[in-house]
Amino acid sequence: MAREAPIGSRVELSVSTTNGDKSYEGTLIPPAGTGLVTIKLENGYNLSHPEASVQGITVLGPGPSSSSGPSGELPEDESLPEVLLIHTGGTIASKVDYATGAVTTRFEPEEILASVPELRSIARLRVRMLGNMWSDDVRPRHWNGMIEATREAFDQGYAGVVITHGTDTLHLSAAALAYAWSGCGGRPPGRIVLTGSQRSPDRGSSDAYENLIAAVHWAASGPDPTGHRDASVVVMHDTGSDGRCVVLPGCSSRKGHSTRRGAFVVVNQGPIGHISLKSGHPVIEAPEPRGAQREVESSPTRFDEDISIQEFVAGPHLSPSMIRAAVRGGLDAIVVRGTGLGHLPIHDPLGDSPENPELASVLRDAVSEGVPVVVTAETVSGMVNMDVYAKGRDQRSIGLIGHGSLCPPGSAVIKLHHLLSRGMGIDEIRGAWSRDLVGENPPDSRG
């Protein structure tokens, strides 16, 4: 019965439920699972019922932008900007396997477009599949794939790109794109947006629908990037409620909650803007861009995939042997998430912890061998300040890098990788670390 109505049609779905017969109006979209009929309601949520409970489907007319041209493809408004949707995977590209209850990565780019027909009134969309992977599995080679895909898109004249990405490491890929395009002082030719979802698109409470609409709208019609804070942006739900998405700087964002829809936060600065979705069409609410617009960069910096950075967390189990083994293993740099203002366990005030001063000695040796050791704040927010206490000043005398930085821990690792990829040695990195390359170290946020 469902096959008699074309996908994309506006329909009335009549079903039999335990609470009696019900009717719903919406847009017929690809089914959320085998044996299901799925429609998108006016409020943006998806509704699925088993085919066996469907009493009838009445076609009310064409859905949003659903009339077909001669080739069977949807017609396009040639006045709209072109946007490339670069698909990498994640929850936004997943479905629930109703046989097991598990979420699986099997939502293809074409299905995304079919499920959100409103996108076609915002931009002329093209889709490129880079992969269908969970973000936990993303490596520097995948950052390079995204960088190359954006470069090719801009070379072909796209106004912007949207990268669909799993949320767990979305902020790392966003930072990688920001440093690649603007770390040397330029700006991307167009807008780069990363988005994802906390709940899969076939769930009634999914945030994918609004996140995609807002992301595509920013990529198509947002302000031109300056290269400062906005070389790449993250667009996600502002809060747990529908109707408003937030635009965050890709260089200073992170996932701040494991499950809620308003999961992403900006660190040590404010958001770039917001996108309201309450009027039926997305509306950008954004302040004026900060700073002067940089020159367009045509050749983004790729990440050296052979670079090895070891990350540690300061605390009672950080031992000299761990650092020594890492250095002997031939790593290129070390990042330690320091406590408080950026402190490490290097003092032995009671005379009962000789491993603490030994740790200081091992770190000093690493620095003397040319290994950059960067300290970030495990607190995430706030400045690394190694001038307040004697311990911090001792760390600076050892040669540890990081004093004065507002760069979030995740972005700091990407920044360090970027500088190493440019061939910088320890002294050059020390000089570059305090600079604000892409908006990660805003001078007006210190204090």
423, amino acid identity: G
Task: Supply the pLDDT for residue 2.
Answer: 47
pTM of the predicted model as reported, rounded to 2 decimal places: 0.83
Indicate which residue of 27, 91, 164, 301 is catalytic.
91
> Pick from 173, 176, 156: which is nearest to 84 by CA?
156
- Residue 53 phi/psi, 5° resolution? -95, -5
φ, ψ at 61 (rounded to 5°):
155, 180
Catalytic site includes residue 40:
no
Reduced DSSP (H G I as helix, E B as strand, rest coil) percent helix, strand, coil of the chain, to 5: 30, 25, 50
Tell which residue, 203, 246, 221, has the closest CA to residue 101: 203
Does the annotation mark 34 as catalytic? Answer: no
One of 40, 255, 391, 415 is an active-site residue; which one?
255
271 three-state secondary structure: coil
Q: Which of 167, 169, 301, 376 is catalytic?
A: 167
What lies within 8 Å, CB to CB, of 198 at 6+ separation is 91, 167, 207, 237, 259, 260, 261, 263
Supply the DSSP symbol for 39: E
Could you give the domains of the chain?
A: 2-62 (2.30.30.520), 82-285 (3.40.50.1170), 309-445 (3.40.50.40)
Residue 168 appears among annotated catalytic residues: yes
352 annotated active-site? no
From first to last of the 447 residues of the chain, give the pLDDT tens digit.
Answer: 445 678 778 898 898 888 788 888 888 877 766 788 888 777 666 778 888 889 888 988 876 554 333 333 556 788 999 999 998 976 665 555 544 445 555 555 566 666 777 888 899 999 898 888 888 999 999 999 999 999 999 999 999 999 999 889 999 999 999 999 999 999 999 999 999 887 555 554 577 788 999 999 999 999 999 999 999 999 999 887 888 999 999 999 998 888 777 788 999 999 999 999 987 789 999 776 677 899 999 999 999 999 999 999 999 999 999 999 999 999 999 999 999 999 999 999 999 999 999 999 999 999 999 999 999 999 999 999 999 999 999 999 999 999 999 999 999 999 999 999 999 999 999 999 999 999 999 887 665
For residues 28 and 215, give the distance between their C-alpha atoms in angstroms, rounded to a whole number: 23
d(CA 386, CA 378): 14
What is the model's pLDDT at position 336? 98
Element (H, E) at 172: helix 170-182
